[in-house]
Amino acid sequence: MSHLNVVLVIADCLRPDLPILGYDRDTTPLLTPAFQKARGFSQCRSVCGWTLPACASILTGQPPNVHGLVDHDGRFAVPKLGAFLGADYVRFGIGNNGNLVPDDIDEDYLRRLGAERNSMWKRFGWNLDFDTYRWFHRLDHDSPFLEADRFLEAQAGSARPFFLFLHTNVVHDYSLDRPYYRTVPDWFGGDVPPELESFHDGPGVWVHLRERLGGETLRRVIKARYDSGSREI
């Protein structure tokens, strides 16, 4: 029996606002052709509202109380998908968020990023059950895709099946000052207000900026920025 290649992509914080599901904005021009040939599951639900336990459940098929990553003090208590595929597979993982940092990351590299092995950088076990696991800081959105391209090119002539796991933070980081979060005139009808070219995401934005910009403008711009990030995937 021949083995199938497996590619698992997690677009962190991607909502079901997709053209293939009836959304009126063309937010996935690169993905829609693939979606049209794919099998969809309309009743999927995340086990949790934040990255660490939710992504761990995707990789293990288990709820947080079983896989162990209920908070930053946890660690994988069960194997990930790569363990069940076995050594016949080339198992390659790519993480793009502090919650997916591997155990063996260079400590000097973390310090150069201004980080330490503290609550956000503990040894969770993400690199386990992968032959190779690459990690990129959440502000580096391009390198994960380039790394995935290099891996796929390297496997082109190989007889061994592969498992590629790619996590991207592109949609997650819609509040950053990046060109692909500001290409919104077709959805917003004007330029992004200076206050929203870059902002600290979180509950505070709905208090302070709401007073200055008004709730309707705030909602329209943030929604447009988010959708613009979805279009970048």
pLDDT at position 120 is: 64
Q: What are phi and psi of 56, to 5 degrees?
A: -65, -35
pLDDT at position 92 is: 98
pLDDT at position 148 is: 98
Q: Where are the alpha helices (DSSP H) in 77-231?
A: 81-85, 107-112, 142-154, 185-188, 205-213, 215-230
Hey, is 8 helix, strand or coil?
A: strand
Give pTM, 2 decimals: 0.92
pLDDT at position 119 is: 63
| 69 in Cβ contact with 52 (< 8 Å) | yes
Q: How many CB atoms lie within 10 A of CB 179?
A: 8
Q: What are phi and psi of 9, to 5 degrees?
A: -115, 125
pLDDT at position 116 is: 66
Which residue type sits at 67? H
pLDDT at position 190 is: 77
Exposure string of 41-58, with b = 16+ CB inside 10 Å and e = fewer, is eeeeeeeeeebbbbbbbb
Going 166 to 53 to 66 to 106, the CA torsion angle's sign is positive
Rounded to an integer, what distance in angstroms lies between the CA atom of residue 14 and that of residue 79? Answer: 26
Q: Which residues does the chain have with pLDDT short of 70?
A: 1-2, 116-121
Contacts of 220 (CB under 8 A, 6+ apart): 188
